[in-house]
Amino acid sequence: MFSEFQGASYPERYNILCQRLMQEQLYSAASIIASARTASADGAYVELNGMTGLRTFVTELAGHIAAEAARS
């Protein structure tokens, strides 16, 4: 087990993994969000950091879509 994973929660482990995949340019973007079971009523969620936040992911996705649309 990587030392960064020791004592980390599952969402924190996924966040570390996604950050590594992006830093190694294996993924262009990734998002990790978490919500409580009770959030089904209001959709509340938390982001673990800006690099893997939903806004960053959607911005990257929109950029990819725009680039593909420009090629067609």
How confident is the model over 32-71, as pLDDT tens digits? 999 999 999 999 999 999 999 999 999 999 999 999 999 9
pTM: 0.80
CA distance 71 to 42: 39
Give Cβ neighbours of residue 27 (< 8 Å, ≥ 6 apart).
Answer: 18, 21
How confident is the model over 16-33, as pLDDT tens digits? 999 999 999 999 999 999
% helix, strand, coil for the chain, step of 5: 55, 5, 40
